[in-house]
Amino acid sequence: MSNVELATAKDIDAIASIHAISLASDVLPHFGRNYLKKYYSEIIQSPRKDVLIYRQQNKVTGFIVLRTGSFSMTSILRLKDIVVFLCHCLAKPSLFLRAVIQTVRQTHIADCECEIDYFAVAIDQQGSGIGKALIHAAENWCRDKNIQVLLTKTNNARLQDFYLREKKAETLKVFSILRETYKVFKWTIE
Ligand SMILES: CC(C)(COP(=O)(O)OP(=O)(O)OC[C@H]1O[C@@H](n2cnc3c(N)ncnc32)[C@H](O)[C@@H]1OP(=O)(O)O)[C@@H](O)C(=O)NCCC(=O)NCCS
């Protein structure tokens, strides 16, 4: 039996915790834990997004966010979230620049395409095959929906090599944010 399933509202806390720790340098966690939970609650209900989770012994240990159309993160932003973010920016001004560049650099998704928005595994479980199982499940999810192409963007150099080597991905764009190199990949699901 597969360990991968669609996330539901009861998984939001666990997903937000993994996101906050494993993707700690990402912009989203700096809007606060409440915003992160609101974000996942919203996308679980959205027809254009799904979250697949990896569950082991009843514990969520990884997730992947799949998006098939545009989704505005700003529609769920409240003043309180902005204040939390600005407080984080005071301590780390580069965050502001990162948020602006990420917003401007949104990838366009065509009808038969899907983008991996977020992908993370709990720190103590990384490197044991959960990520590969989630990618495999994401490809099956796409096949079910007649989606032929997966897109993703990452600054994780090891993962960039994985997409090139294992998925024979095409590199669509390369750009830097604060000395980190991001690559946008696209591959056809066989
Ligand atoms: C990237 C990540 C989701 C992969 O999940 P995983 O369960 O650790 O991965 P797997 O063991 O299935 O291995 C798949 C690939 O992930 C990458 N990977 C695995 N462990 C990793 C680690 N500790 N750190 C970075 N990348 C790792 C490797 O490229 C690996 O393939 P390879 O061993 O053939 O090179 C996970 O390591 C993670 O959460 N890293 C931090 C957040 C992150 O970089 N997310 C990526 C999107 S921005």
Report all structural domains of the chain as residue ranges with CATH numbers, in order of start: 4-151 (3.40.630.30)
* pLDDT at site 67: 92
What does the pLDDT look like over 126-156, one tens digit per residue? 999 999 999 999 999 999 999 999 999 999 9
Which protein residue's CA is at the shortest distance from atom 4 of ligand 1? Answer: 131
* pLDDT at site 47: 82
What does the pLDDT look like over 16-28, one tens digit per residue? 999 999 999 899 9
Q: Is 158 in the pocket of ligand 1 (CB under 6 A)?
A: yes
Tokens 């928005």: give the residue.
117
Q: Is 32 in the pocket of ligand 1 (CB under 6 A)?
A: no
| First vs last C-alpha separation in the chain | 22
Residue 133: alpha-carbon gap to chain centroid: 15
Contacts of 56 (CB under 8 A, 6+ apart): 3, 125
* pLDDT at site 64: 98
**Ligand 1 atom at shortest distance from the alpha carbon of 132:** 12
Q: Is 156 in the pocket of ligand 1 (CB under 6 A)?
A: yes
Section 106-119 average pLDDT: 88
108 pLDDT tier (thresholds 50, 70, 90): confident
CA nearest neighbour of 149 among 122, 113, 118: 113
Cα dihedral 76, 84, 40, 51 sign? positive
Mutate which of 56, 158, 163, 184 to test ligand 1's pocket (most atoms within 8 Å of Cβ)?
A: 158
Q: Is 136 in the pocket of ligand 1 (CB under 6 A)?
A: no
Q: How many CA atoms lie within 13 A of 132 on its CB side?
A: 6
166 pLDDT tier (thresholds 50, 70, 90): very high
1 pLDDT tier (thresholds 50, 70, 90): low
Rounded to whole angstroms, the Cα distance separating 87 from 92 reads: 9
Asked whether residue 167 carries a pLDDT value surpassing 80, the answer given is: yes
How far apart are the CA of 136 and the centre of ligand 1, in A?
14
Section 104-133 average pLDDT: 92
What does the pLDDT look like over 31-86, one tens digit per residue? 999 999 999 999 898 888 899 999 999 999 999 999 998 777 778 889 999 999 99
How far apart are the CA of 131 and the centre of ligand 1, in A?
6
pTM, whole model, 2 decimals?
0.94
Asked whether residue 165 carries a pLDDT value surpassing 80, the answer given is: yes
Per-residue tokens: 124: 């103590």
Tokens 């502001």: give the residue.
96
Q: Is 3 in the pocket of ligand 1 (CB under 6 A)?
A: no
Q: Is 69 in the pocket of ligand 1 (CB under 6 A)?
A: no
